[in-house]
Structure 1
């Protein structure tokens, strides 16, 4: 007994706690997420070597990106920059378009407006825009909710081009019964403007852009308003989403909304949330087709990954399990595309070789 007691004293002298109260045992704390200042472009880095990634796989990844018409590429690990590269005469200050990857900006601001009590996504769109915003029969138009626009199941004809004037918004099926990739989502920007009694740009800037230190602006392109920014601004947005809607200690958009936005939003296309693409599901639909494809959206990517995908391979990939946010901007890697292409799967095989 004397020997045991002396051993306990020795442990205490060496700095071990002598308390037997389980409530006093300190669990190891997981590294907190790093956020850069919203007032400067300084950003902490972490080397792939420190992360025990395979450094020999970095240059092949960068060579592939350059070959595939990439302009910029960033990997964040828990908020810190692990890889940042610019190609083809692009620089850290050069703006580039987000294309449909910017749909997720609209989705997020809709969530902020709902958090602010300005709108309810389950309300019909005509509650905010009035009737006649489509050419659908009134009883069919009144079936379309803001959530239907977020989920791409408005039931409006997706073969009428990019313009979203009423004559191009024609009924083809009841809302909620048909999934189709459609630019009608942009009407959500009008909903936010009406609900907030501000312009879309003003509300966007004050509720999201300025709060996380983004650069950029909305510019007209092919009958739509498209966001342009530098690459780090895209990374800032991805980081805020990775952090479940927070920036440091400020909740920008509610965690509940982010959870809903990044999970299956309807029962037709498992791989689609609120304007976010979802990996790891059993099937998916693609733009401009009603075919169902079996399997995961990007087989080489982690199953918990979700993504903002824009025309000509603008990408925001978010992987919570690996603490990664990955950004790619540039020209189309191969042929012009709506956002998803064979490039995604090959790119992820090279990212995996580096990070696994």
Structure 2
């Protein structure tokens, strides 16, 4: 019996050693991801550690990490078998910041004004008016929405929230256990579309031109000087980039190791001609965040602008965009807001840039957003995804959307006057978005 026990312990030790050896080069990434995720979900989204580790962090190799929460300091430290500790700390106004070198000198935050507006949703803080639309089959709609959620005991769809808005009115809304209409949800790459809107506001103010080149001093003496702002917005710059979350790649090194995330794509070489090779790049969006910063005299102006001119102006008061340790908005990945507030962003675009009578974006900018990028097969515009190429064959081709890692979406369907928000942890096609959307839209005549 002792021999069997000893052999079992040896085998267990061998397995542990094997896991550590295999993952050791990635441990900084694993613990960085885990610390940042647990910190944000705990202190920004007010979630408990059990649901975080089972959901957001419940996949290999991230689930190897052990997370220790310091409630007093509002920080999280993560390790794997005691190795490679990484720390993230919560700061009011900017969410959780991953500390690459343990530096906790985080003193910046945006100035915000949350104004109470006595109007119904979506334009104010009051409950929306009770409205029934004859064009909506509510029984079919509610069935379609319910089909997106797991039945008790299942973990297939893993949907957390669905909100359907028709003619500026919420006509269906459902949340998974543990989530409500006040839960902040991480949009991941949906945040890229927020950055696009900020650039659209700068364009409306006459401060930028999408056809401009010579965007950065670091590029002025080489071929990168020919890259236009349009090329960056459309992910068609020709710059080198690897977007792979399963390996040590450009994107994982940027998100979990870099102190200034705006510089990673900036330093990459040109490997093809601009406008000839579409390549999805989170580094490009953070580079755009740096470009936006360069339009202001002070860093505080940069921090404030996103909220005063867009986010708070359209009542997305729950939203927080997190920063890196250098104070740059991580526009590629880290926008948090309630599902209802994400729906407001979709409505801004559904209404062609107009918000309750004020033209926040030029209509021409919204049209530009929906223009397919060269070589993207009709799938991508200016930091928005498109259905122009028929990715969802049973859904109108005028659909465009904000999409994020693990199945986060804001779908805008102008021909149906509809916005659909969906949050979850399962991506298409494992979660069939074509069926999901076609069933919802089929309930609206």
The interval holding the TM-score normalised by the smaller chain is 0.7 to 0.9
Distance, in Å, in 2 between the alignment partners of 1:143 and 1:45 is 54
2:39 paired residue number: none
Give 1:198 deviation, angstroms.
4.6
Number of positions where the alignment pairs a residue of Structure 1 with one of Structure 2 = 296
Give 1:340 deviation, angstroms.
7.1
Q: Which of 202, 222, 225 does residue 139 from structure 1 map onto?
A: 222
TM-score scaled by structure 1? 0.76
Q: Which moved more, 1:265-274 or 1:311-320?
A: 265-274
Distance, in Å, in 2 between the alignment partners of 1:166 and 1:87 is 37
State whether structure 2 residue 205 is matched by structure 1 residue 111: no
Distance, in Å, in 2 between the alignment partners of 1:268 and 1:315 is 19
Give 1:139 deviation, angstroms.
2.2
Give 1:75 deviation, angstroms.
0.9
State whether structure 2 residue 359 is matched by structure 1 residue 272: no
Q: Secondary structure at the match of 1:131?
A: helix
State whether structure 2 residue 171 is matched by structure 1 residue 78: no
1:309–1:340 CA contact under 8 A, matched in 2: no
Extract unaligned runs of 5+ from structure 1. Answer: 1-33, 282-295
2:268 paired residue number: 169
Extract unaligned runs of 5+ from structure 2. Answer: 1-118, 151-156, 243-248, 255-260
1:202 paired residue number: 304
Distance, in Å, in 2 between the alignment partners of 1:224 and 1:109 is 13
Give 1:86 deviation, angstroms.
1.5
Give 1:166 deviation, angstroms.
4.0
Q: Which of 219, 238, 250 does residue 155 from structure 1 map onto?
A: 238
CA distance change for structure 1 residues 41 and 92 in 2, over 3 Å: closer, same or farther? farther
Q: Secondary structure at the match of 2:381?
A: coil
Q: Secondary structure at the match of 1:211?
A: coil
1:97–1:227 CA contact under 8 A, matched in 2: yes
**1:172-209 Cα deviation digits (max 9, x unpaired):** 21211110101112211111121133544311011101
Distance, in Å, in 2 between the alignment partners of 1:318 and 1:220 is 27
Give 1:355 deviation, angstroms.
2.2
In the TM superposition, 1:1-356 aligns within 5 A as: 36=121, 38-47=123-132, 50-67=133-150, 68-124=157-213, 126-127=214-215, 129-131=216-218, 138-159=221-242, 160-162=249-251, 163=254, 164=261, 165-166=263-264, 169-183=268-282, 184-199=284-299, 200-215=302-317, 216-220=319-323, 224-225=330-331, 226-281=334-389, 296-330=390-424, 332-333=425-426, 337=427, 342-356=431-445
CA distance change for structure 1 residues 270 and 58 in 2, over 3 Å: closer, same or farther? closer
1:25 paired residue number: none
Give 1:44 deviation, angstroms.
3.1
CA distance change for structure 1 residues 73 and 355 in 2, over 3 Å: closer, same or farther? same
Distance, in Å, in 2 between the alignment partners of 1:206 and 1:176 is 33
CA RMSD in angstroms, aligned pairs only: 2.5
Distance, in Å, in 1 between the alignment partners of 2:442 and 2:205 is 43
Distance, in Å, in 2 between the alignment partners of 1:323 and 1:351 is 13
CA distance change for structure 1 residues 59 and 261 in 2, over 3 Å: closer, same or farther? closer
Give 1:103 deviation, angstroms.
1.1
CA distance change for structure 1 residues 39 and 208 in 2, over 3 Å: closer, same or farther? same
Distance, in Å, in 1 between the alignment partners of 2:181 and 2:201 is 29
Give 1:94 deviation, angstroms.
0.8
2:192–2:383 CA contact under 8 A, matched in 1: yes
Give 1:275 deviation, angstroms.
1.0
**1:275-315 Cα deviation digits (max 9, x unpaired):** 1111133xxxxxxxxxxxxxx11112112111111111111
1:74–1:327 CA contact under 8 A, matched in 2: yes
2:145–2:172 CA contact under 8 A, matched in 1: no
CA distance change for structure 1 residues 106 and 209 in 2, over 3 Å: closer, same or farther? same
Distance, in Å, in 1 between the alignment partners of 2:382 and 2:273 is 19
Greater relative CO (CA pairs within 8 A, separation 6+): 1
